[in-house]
Amino acid sequence: MKRRKIQIAAGGALLLIAVLVNIKYEWSRLALFIVAYLIVGWDVVLRAAKNVLKGRVFDENFLMSVATIGTFFIAQYAEGVAVMLFYQVGELFQLFAVAKSRKSIAGLMDIRPDYANVEKAGELIRTKPEEVRPGDIIVIKPGERIPLDAVVVDGNSFLDTSALTGEALPREVAPDSELLSGCINLSGVLTARVTKEYGQSTVSKILDLVENAAAKKSQSERFITKFARYYTPAVVIIAAALAVAPPLIFQQGFDIWVYRALSFLVVSCPCALVISIPLSFFGGIGGASRRGILIKGGNYLEALAKTEIMVFDKTGTLTKGVFEVQKIFAVGMPESAVLELAAYAESFSGHPISLSLKEAYGRQLTGGRVTRAEDIAGYGVSAIVDGREVFAGSAALMQKLNVPYTEGDSVGTVVHVAVDKKYAGHIVISDELKSDAAQAVKELKSSIKHTVMLTGDNEYAAKKVAEELGIEKVYSGLLPGDKVRKMEELFALKSAKGKIAFAGDGINDAPVLARADIGIAMGALGSDAAIEAADVVIMTDEPSKIPEAIRISKKTLRIAYQNIILAIGIKTAVLVLSALGITTMWAAIFADVGVTIIAVLNAFRALIIKKGIQKNVSVRSAV
């Protein structure tokens, strides 16, 4: 960039001298213009020549070289040098804008750790994160970036997670807390055990995601690439015809028509489109990453802007997924016995419902009492507890076993328990709505057609949640396969160009995430499956990030369309006027360089992302 600045300054100075100084001999004046031209544009001409030899003829370098060299043959030296000078100024501005946006994104995503302090034989050895293995003990001092995913062994501290989540509020960690690579340790010294090698760590996956996002182009970007492929050769052919045909037909001098043809070529350079459209999407993806929203490509960003139906999973998406036992209904045995059997049956599961049952039981689960345990996907679990066959799960599990059961009218998730194929009762477990869930749904309803919730919970609890949040349609009692079928039905509600987005946890809802036009994984911190499965990854568990992501996508698409209309509109007008001889090459320079600068400035706005809704809504419900 520094060399380009010197090049422009020197060429501009010589051009000014050549214009202002009254040189007696024409050849001396021509020589000065040629030197000025070579200083300013030699690299453009060189690139054009190399591309021609490689078979890539019709690009902006070729157009600018032909147009500016052509002016020397019709004695328009000053305009030829000026066109190349202003073209280089535009290129310099583009380089600055792109570098600025890349630097901004690089700074925001600068989460790659430089080193890890590995503890060996009582000593700390600084080494590369790539050389650390799972099980190694690392020490993170205050101010250092966490190099790998790990679990705290000793120490208490606060972490800055803003680079991953976009949130400024520090997160407290203590022994047994998970540490995510890329976060910054703010206060105490932490000793931690590494759980994943660097290539599988959170920081590595996020960096790969962001770096590869540019490869997945949107329809707008693909359109511009295809447009330029046919547009540029077409204008060269038209310019050639404009330079030759009218003089032969109307018996006029070639100078006038060659000048018009050269102006035509200058206008036709597609820089404004080729540079600003990808820059718009690049900026949108980078701006979203600042807010803890990772979008895996321009194609997903564009599809997100066209969302008409937003479908939610309930647990872990709209609710916190932190369950508490609220009520126990027993049949033929004490309530404590129903809870005990359910806790033992669920003892090998890490599901939030299982954890809540074990916590409510409140005693140490003794070994040897469970001789067999099996997870029944989508239904619940079965286990042999003290020699008795225990089933714990949904109403669908009781139906599958042909066991008569009592649904009850309590609000919450109901875990039915059967012992030796006889109904023993049920346990009602409640969840808590996320603080920003209601406001997020309200904001979404102002920009999309339908909001829908799919859940495996009972109908009463599901409808209660939907009413509190303002969700229009709710489908309850669904197994994973049922959710996919419901998703298929929802496609009939959208328009031909509309899209369906689904927000879930990225693990249990993987089939639905894959079937939706846009899969949004919620609360992906530490969740490998979420990062892999979804098209959009929300690094926190806040529903408010979803309308924010849609706002960012709509803004980005709006900027891209503005640039397309601006560039094509002005260029078309000036192309016609140039062909008719109404405008000069100076207007052509504006239609190329000026429009490009305006378009790049406009594209740069995609990086500027305002914060979303304030999290001032608190809703608690037994759901």
Cβ contacts of 282 within 8 Å, gap of 6 or more: 101, 102, 105, 214, 298, 606
Strand partners, 143: none
Q: Give the pLDDT confidence score for residue 413 in this predicted structure.
A: 80
Length of the chain: 623
In whole numbers, what is the pLDDT of the chain averaged over residues?
81
| pLDDT tens, residue by residue, 146-157 | 999 999 999 999
Domain ranges of the chain: 2-106+215-280+555-607, 116-147+149-195, 293-320+433-539, 324-430
Gap between the Cα atoms of 165 and 261, Å rounded: 54
Mean pLDDT split into 10-residue runs, the chain, 623 residues: 62 61 66 82 85 76 80 78 76 67 56 86 90 94 92 92 68 89 89 91 71 62 69 81 86 82 79 75 81 84 92 85 84 93 88 85 87 85 93 91 84 88 91 88 91 84 87 86 86 88 75 85 64 79 91 92 88 84 80 81 77 41 40
Nearest to 320 by CA among 619, 554, 11, 101: 619
Q: Give the pLDDT confidence score for residue 78 in this predicted structure.
A: 77
Yes or no: say if 603 and 276 are a contact pair by the CB < 8 Å rule: yes
Q: Give the pLDDT confidence score for residue 189 in this predicted structure.
A: 93
In terms of DSSP H, where are the helices of 306-424? Answer: 335-345, 352-361, 395-401
Q: Please, is 569 exposed, middle or buried when counting C-beta atoms within 10 Å of its C-beta (0-12, 13-18, 19+)?
A: exposed
Q: Give the pLDDT confidence score for residue 614 in this predicted structure.
A: 41
Cβ neighbours of 350 (radius 10 Å): 7
Gap between the Cα atoms of 204 and 397, Å rounded: 40
Q: How many CA atoms lie within 13 A of 54 on its CB side?
A: 10
3-state secondary structure of 586: helix
Q: Give the pLDDT confidence score for residue 541 in this predicted structure.
A: 80
Could you write out the three-class secondary structure of 554-576?
HHHHHHHHHHHHHHHHHHHHHHH
Residue at 154: amino acid letter: D
Its sign, for the CA torsion 261, 585, 4, 20, is: positive
Q: Give the pLDDT confidence score for residue 18 in this predicted structure.
A: 59
Q: Give the pLDDT confidence score for residue 11 in this predicted structure.
A: 61
Q: The pTM is what?
A: 0.68
- Alpha carbon 482 to its chain centroid, in Å, reads 28
Tokens of 618: 């608190």
Q: Give the pLDDT confidence score for residue 619 in this predicted structure.
A: 35
Q: Give the pLDDT confidence score for residue 618 in this predicted structure.
A: 36
Nearest to 542 by CA among 293, 250, 323: 293
At the second CATH level, the architecture of 293-320+433-539 is 3-Layer(aba) Sandwich (3.40)
Report DSSP state, residue 145: B
Tokens of 200: 């599988």
| pLDDT tens, residue by residue, 74-125 | 777 777 777 787 777 777 766 676 666 556 555 555 667 889 999 988 889 9
∠ at Cα 562 (559, 567), nearest 5°? 125
The CATH T-level fold of domain 116-147+149-195 is: 2.70.150
Nearest to 294 by CA among 307, 302, 280, 284: 284
Quick check: is 386 catalytic?
A: no
Q: Give the pLDDT confidence score for residue 98 in this predicted structure.
A: 60
Mutual orientation of helices 219-250 and 254-268 as an angle, nearest 10°? 180
Q: Please, is 191 exposed, middle or buried when counting C-beta atoms within 10 Å of its C-beta (0-12, 13-18, 19+)?
A: middle
Gap between the Cα atoms of 203 and 173, Å rounded: 18
Q: Give the pLDDT confidence score for residue 250 in this predicted structure.
A: 79
Tokens of 441: 């749904």
Pairing of strands 413-419, 388-393: antiparallel
Catalytic residue among 313, 431, 505, 535: 313
Nearest to 413 by CA among 433, 423, 428: 428
Gap between the Cα atoms of 146 and 158, Å rounded: 12
Gap between the Cα atoms of 506 and 529, Å rounded: 6
| pLDDT tens, residue by residue, 437-460 | 999 999 999 889 999 999 877 787
Gap between the Cα atoms of 235 and 182, Å rounded: 50
Cβ neighbours of 120 (radius 10 Å): 10
Gap between the Cα atoms of 549 and 444, Å rounded: 11
Q: Give the pLDDT confidence score for residue 620 in this predicted structure.
A: 34
Distances (CA, A) of 183 to 188, 290, 526: 14, 14, 12
The CATH T-level fold of domain 324-430 is: Calcium-transporting ATPase, cytoplasmic domain N (3.40.1110)
Q: Give the pLDDT confidence score for residue 574 in this predicted structure.
A: 85
| Backbone dihedral angles phi then psi of residue 346, each to the nearest 5 degrees | -90, 5
Nearest to 84 by CA among 70, 68, 73, 72: 68
| Backbone dihedral angles phi then psi of residue 581, each to the nearest 5 degrees | 80, 15
Cβ neighbours of 413 (radius 10 Å): 27
